[in-house]
Amino acid sequence: MSRFRGHHSPPTRRRTTVKFAIALAAALILVVGGYLVGEWLENRSYQEERQQMSENFGLLPTMEYQGQTYMRRPEVTTMLLMGVDQHMDEEPTGSRHGGRADFLLLMALDHKNQKVYQLQIDRDTFTEVPVVGVLGNEVGTRAMQICLAYNYGNNNEERCRHTVQAVQMLLNDEPIELALAVKLDGIAVLNQALGGIRVTIPEDMTVVDPAFTAGATLTLTDAQTEKLVRARMTVGDGLNVSRMRRQRTFLEAATRQLRSMLASDSDFAGRLFDSLEAISSYTNVTRGRLINEANRAYNYDIQPVDTLAAEYKIGAQELMECHVDKDAVTAWLIKTLYEPKN
């Protein structure tokens, strides 16, 4: 398209029609080509765990709530994003020292209704967490802050799996299909991939960075990105719920830019995966799968980030414990993943 700029001869109707047709064809080729490339990459390297067709075929999970039976909607993909307090150059050792998952966001991509739901889970959520013995063997569960689930495992894949299992247990054993654990100090890499995220600072954070005055709109540098999403103790009331609000500000801004770049650049999803791969500690999402999910969902209606109603109290360890309302869990699942069974 750009080579037609500066062409000064008056456009005729026929010429305009031809240009439009060429542009439409090019757009179609890009979209279809992107999808096929993504599908090829996905099929080449990703072996999904699927049940045999003969086994429980046609049986979708159901749940009962207030006298109504609800059925799982198969067209919704779930993906857990984890921000882990590991450093980029760090590989944890030992079976109980993996680090904490301080940021937990469950995304539900509803391909039927073209909506993206997001649930931010408080890292202080007190719930059963799978744990391992000192030798790395699984020894059941223990109630603790959900962020600690990432500590347990012999490698990042196991730590990721345990965190997913903890979230699943919190959400009435709802299976989560995809998972991506990102090292929090690598979030700057994502900032670079998005060309610098532009945010409005929601509250005075000058104690963290002089540029972070309340209401200031700025394009974050890489270092500022990490400050914005990680700072907690020195800002405001020091509570994690307040940090979660700041993280949502960042997320919303990042999502806007992500959407814009996905719309304008068909290769962006692939490059984004490469960036995420560099800062991830583990993911079961393949490049092709991410490209396909991104290409399908980039123009979906993104719903505001949800949180679960919860009661906060100081626990036996004098640490904040977030006890989520079980009804709130069920209500969220019904809103996003289930539909009434006729």
Choosing from 233, 264, 304, 342, the residue that interacts with another protein (CB under 8 A) is 233
Give least dist CB 144 to another protein, A: 5
144 part of the interface to another protein, by CB under 8 A: yes
Nearer Cβ to another protein (145/156): 145
**Burial grade of 64 (CB within 10 A; 0-12, 13-18, 19 or more):** exposed
140 part of the interface to another protein, by CB under 8 A: yes
Single out the residue of 196, 243, 246, 201 nearest to residue 222, CA to CA.
196
47 part of the interface to another protein, by CB under 8 A: no
Give least dist CB 133 to another protein, A: 3
303 part of the interface to another protein, by CB under 8 A: no
Single out the residue of 48, 203, 176 nearest to residue 121, CA to CA.
176
CA distances 98 to 79, 82, 304, Å, are: 21, 13, 31
Q: What is the 3-state secondary structure (H, E, C) of 49-71?
A: CCCCCCCCCCCCCEEEECCEEEE
Choosing from 13, 57, 67, 135, the residue that interacts with another protein (CB under 8 A) is 135
| Element at 70 (helix H, strand E) | strand 68-72
Tokens describing residue 298 = 């980039």
Query: What is the rounded distance in angstroms from the CA atom of residue 272 to the CA atom of residue 149?
Result: 27
Give least dist CB 142 to another protein, A: 6
Question: Where in 68-97 is the site for another protein (CB under 8 A)?
Answer: 94, 96-97
Query: What is the rounded distance in angstroms from the CA atom of residue 220 to the CA atom of residue 143?
Result: 38
Nearer Cβ to another protein (96/248): 96
Query: What is the rounded distance in angstroms from the CA atom of residue 242 to the CA atom of residue 144?
Result: 21
123 part of the interface to another protein, by CB under 8 A: yes
Residues paired with residue 312 on neighbouring β-strands, in sequence order: 322
Choosing from 110, 122, 124, 158, the residue that interacts with another protein (CB under 8 A) is 124
Give least dist CB 322 to another protein, A: 11
Choosing from 87, 142, 271, 341, the residue that interacts with another protein (CB under 8 A) is 142
Choosing from 54, 137, 264, 342, the residue that interacts with another protein (CB under 8 A) is 137
Nearer Cβ to another protein (99/186): 99
Give least dist CB 209 to another protein, A: 19
Question: Where in 151-180 is the site for another protein (CB under 8 A)?
Answer: 151
Alpha-carbon dihedral sign for residues 150, 152, 153, 158: negative
Q: Decide: 199 and 322 in contact? Cβ < 8 Å.
A: no
The label of the residue with tokens 């004098």 reads 318
Nearer Cβ to another protein (78/145): 145
Other Cβ atoms less than 10 A from the Cβ of 296: the count is 15
234 part of the interface to another protein, by CB under 8 A: no
Where would I find the H helices in 265-323? 268-279, 287-297
Give least dist CB 239 to another protein, A: 7
Can you give the binding site for another protein, defined by CB under 8 A? 94, 96-97, 99-100, 123-124, 131, 133-137, 139-142, 144-145, 147-148, 151, 232-233, 237-239, 314, 316-320
